[in-house]
A and B are shown apart, each in its own frame.
Chain A
Amino acid sequence: MSGLARDRARGPIVAAWLVGIAAAIAVIANTRFTADMSAFLPREATAEQKVLVDQLRDGTLSRLLLVGIAGGDAASRARISIALGNALRHDGAFAQVHNGDATETARDREYVFANRYLLSPAVTPQRFTVEGLHAAIADSIDLLASPAGMMLKSVLPRDPTGEIVRLAGDLAGTARPRLEGGAWASQDGERAILLLETRAGGSDLDAQEQALARIRTAFGQAVATSRVSGGNVSLLLSGTGVFAVASRATIHDEVVRLSIASTTLIVLLLLAVYRSVVALALGLVPVVSGALAAVAAVSLADGFVHGLTLGFGTTLIGEAIDYSIYLFIQSGERNDESWVRRFWPTIRLGVLTSICGFATLLLSGFPGLAQLGLYSITGLAVAALVTRFVLPRLLPARFRVRDLTPLGRTLAAAVERAAALRWLLAVIALASLAALLLHRAPLWNRELSALSPVSAADQALDQQLRSDLGAPDARYLVVASGDSLDAALAASERAAQALDPIVERGVLGGFEAPSRFLPSRATQQARQAALPPRPELEARLRAATAGLPLAAARLAPFLDDAERIRTRQPLVRPDLVGTSLAHAIDALVVPQGQRWTAMLPLRPPEGSATIDAAAVRAALSSARVDGALFIDIKDEADRLYGGYLGEAMRLSAAGFVAIVVLLALALRQPARVARVLAPLVLAVLAVAGTFAAAGQPMILLHLVGMLLIVAIGSNYALFFDRGAGTGASGSSAANAANDGARPRLLASLLTANLTTVAGFGLLAFSSVPVLAALGTTVGPGAILALVFAAMLAPRP
């Protein structure tokens, strides 16, 4: 092609490319980036899973913060806890602040006592007959003989049937931490502890971060204004919000750090190889184009881009840069049209192989995984196309990089010798298979927490604080729903009725229910209807107290209270304002689209950490509570993740089959297909075998890493195959061409491999498990794929 023709052709294609880049930048400018790990939660499928995902994202569980105060002496810690608690109660960021402070519960008690006839399940028409009243009052008198009845003594004139005794038992049945100096302390007395609930959901990371900053500030002030003795005090924080905020910071830091490090490494490497800044800049054109297009594509498809996708994406630089390396080094002294004719089909096949591998990820139910698939496909395809169609048109006339033929000849000699070591491959294959088949530790980690970037030390602190608190870990829930708040409360009542008998039988330690402190309207009205009008009640009371040591005349306050409660409007949510029960209602009854869901957290029986799920489900179904579900959050999350891990394995297998079919169609000779696949399969086997032998269970991202080994390695194997193909043709022209081409090919493959390893290898040092898994798989895997491909290459 003449220079003139080339200039003419340059126009439209380069213009189209520039327009594409501008469009991608415009899309990216409006893109939302997130580091919320819940993006890696599976898309919910069943009702249980929907509740689960909502709970993990924004439920009470996600809003709880555990605070510990360590150091100093017990009295100092208690003073700081009380000062901190008071400050945080006045801070709108917190819905609940619990630290054992006595004044905290006074208003709750007042609400419960003032509305006892609406709240008590014992209020039935039978209880307010003459016989019912007689029995209830006689019970109360019996109770006065006991120390447990002394609470009742002062309120007996207002509450002769003892409703408050039962309500207090229901509402304060939970195990609580010990008190020291008027504030909660850990079992060993070494820490003061507080339990906070943020108003913002756990996935609102900015709000969580602010809440944590407020706690730190308030703690500083509490320390400054309290007398502290016995040494320095320190603040310990844990909870989902703490983890999420720390994870976001870690992911952000690491993505930035790793991107800079791997980019620097790749740039230095390429400068050393090319000895030309122009070549380096041009070489980055396809990479940058691919990355921009990939981010824009993900943004358009999902509406947001996850930080981890970007972290993953920077490593794809390592693969995408290969295309320009092949172009620059392999074309050598020839012009690029010749390269296009000779090498492009091989690269095209390599790109198509990679796309086959990643396309299956698009089908994954894991949003995070689907995003990685889309990112990879778009990035690689665009980088390859830009290398093929745009880059040659940007090259200056007589563009040339340093001739690497001498290096290539050394490599060729090494490859010659390596072929003699092929028997080693059989040994590696057998050893890897043996490791995989004989492994003792599980091959795969099926727990969702394996994806979490939270450090073991932080998890240990969390465990510590939770056990200090008597563990409100909210692992077990019964959920029931209705199409309004009131309907959800009614559903909660039916579920509570079903659960009461199994609490009696000791299957459950107990449970909380929102309907206990805000019954449904119908239930409240039924209880009001059970209360006779005042004159009637007075007459019955006179008859009921005959023969009892408690004269009806003393009980006028009871008649007043009963009449007031009988004629009042039923309680609604605003009546709870000012009590901690208001926040409890908001936490336990949540709107979900058109419906409201009530949650009943369950406690395991005393001395047990788990709940008999079958017994709870049986109780719910035998009581015919429609739509009430028992959920074990940890089990459900692990099952869900395990399911998606299985799905990802099937998808990867499908991707592998697609690659085999593609290669069979392109190469048309089973022997060649086998020769291309063998080094890839061997590399994957060796990497997986190493993990198995080391007893390191793999996670989902190791699987993605294996796909990447196949995608990257297929380029190497195809080039070796192509080199052999031309050599085998026996034409003298090809042989002559081969003379310089093969060493240059080898040099380009080594360079490409080094950039890939630089990109992925650094990930291995990440503290984010998701990234480290990719690094430890792809780094060694890419090297092995190249070495194995070289060893298996037919002699030219």
Chain B
Amino acid sequence: MIRALALGLVVAAAASMALAAGEWTVAELMQGLAARGPERAKFVERKHLAILDQPVVSTGELSWTPPARLEKRTVTPKAESLILDGGLLTLERDRRKTTLRLAEYPQIAAIVESLRGMLAGDRTALEKTYRLEAYGTRERWTLVMLPSDAQVAALVQRIDVAGNGNRVRSIEIRQSDGDRSVMSIE
């Protein structure tokens, strides 16, 4: 469940927000990100799980408040909220609230901190955990994030972020167990 929090959502959401104003070279992209303000966007997420014949689909809204707060509000199939704020990760579902301290989960902290580094345009933080590769053109680009950290690599195989101009269109996360999720952003 902990891994899931990091993988299924934070990675995807954070990556999407980070790249909403993407540039097609990594260096330029990061510079652009560092100057961004608060943002909101709608999302549709499809999870392809080996155990299910069809993907499960969820929809909702993402919002990013620099420098450290990311919120994911899911509307369907069931209302829930996930808030990453500072060192705390809070999940609320069925009126039940679960709060995790990132410091207690070093693997997740590694993922979350590097994603937050990306949202804040902090390339140094990002490259502690991932090797970054940019492809395509400014109008149609892809950023590939390959974990260089062994612990993160045990969970995530790769993350593909696609966008055009300053918009992120999708984030695809391939997990090391073969399951994958694709989040499309409006």
Residues of chain A whose beta carbon lies under 8 Å from any beta carbon of chain B? 141-151, 153, 156-157, 169, 178-180, 549-551, 554
Contacts and interface: CB of A to CB of B under 8 A. Distances in A.
Q: Chain B's interface: helix, strand, loop or mixed, by majority?
A: mixed
A157 B74 contact: no
Interface stretch (B16-24, B46-54, B159-167): B46-54
A153 B58 CA distance: 16
B131 interface: no
From A144, A147, A148, A549, name the one whose CB has the most chain B CB atoms within 10 angstroms: A147
Interface in B96-132: 96, 98, 101, 103-104
Interface of B: 1, 3-5, 7-9, 45, 47, 49, 51-58, 74, 77-78, 80, 82, 91, 93, 96, 98, 101, 103-104, 179
From B49, B98, B179, name the one whose CB has the most chain A CB atoms within 10 angstroms: B49
A180 B102 CA distance: 11
B1 A144 contact: no
A143 B101 CA distance: 22
A100 to B, nearest CB: 9
B171 to A, nearest CB: 15
A147 B53 contact: no
B145 to A, nearest CB: 19
Given A146-B93, A150-B3, A550 B104 contact: no
Given A150-B3, A150-B4, A169-B96, A145 B104 contact: no
Given A151-B1, A153-B51, A550-B52, A145 B45 contact: yes
B104 A144 contact: no
Nearest to B82: A147
Nearest to B8: A147
Contacts, number: 73
A144 B9 contact: no
6 contacts: A148-B1, A148-B98, A150-B1, A150-B3, A151-B4, A554-B51
Q: Chain A's interface: helix, strand, loop or mixed, by majority?
A: helix
A315 to B, nearest CB: 56
A144 B101 contact: no
Given A142-B77, A142-B78, A179-B104, A147 B51 contact: no
A696 to B, nearest CB: 45
Contacts of B91: 146-148
Nearest to B45: A145
A790 B5 CA distance: 85
Contacts of B9: 147
A599 B51 CA distance: 42
A98 to B, nearest CB: 16
B1 A141 contact: no
A374 B104 CA distance: 60
B56 A145 contact: yes
A549 B78 CA distance: 17
Contact of B80 (A148, A169, A179, A554): A148
A554 B101 CA distance: 36
A549 B54 contact: yes
10 smallest beta-carbon distances between A and B, as pairs: A150-B4, A151-B1, A549-B54, A179-B104, A145-B58, A142-B77, A147-B4, A147-B5, A549-B52, A145-B56
B58 to A, nearest CB: 4
Given A153-B49, A153-B51, A551-B53, A147 B1 contact: yes
Given A144-B52, A149-B4, 4 more contacts: A147-B1, A147-B9, A169-B96, A554-B51
A151 B5 CA distance: 10
Contacts of B58: 145-146
Contact of B56 (A142, A147, A180): A142
Contacts of B104: 178-180
A90 B175 CA distance: 40
Given A141-B56, A178-B104, A180-B104, A148 B93 contact: yes
Contacts of A142: 56, 77-78
A781 B104 CA distance: 61
B51 A550 contact: yes
Contacts of B53: 549-551
B94 to A, nearest CB: 9
B56 A144 contact: yes
A4 to B, nearest CB: 95
From A141, A148, A156, name the one whose CB has the most chain B CB atoms within 10 angstroms: A148
A554 B77 CA distance: 23
A181 B180 CA distance: 31
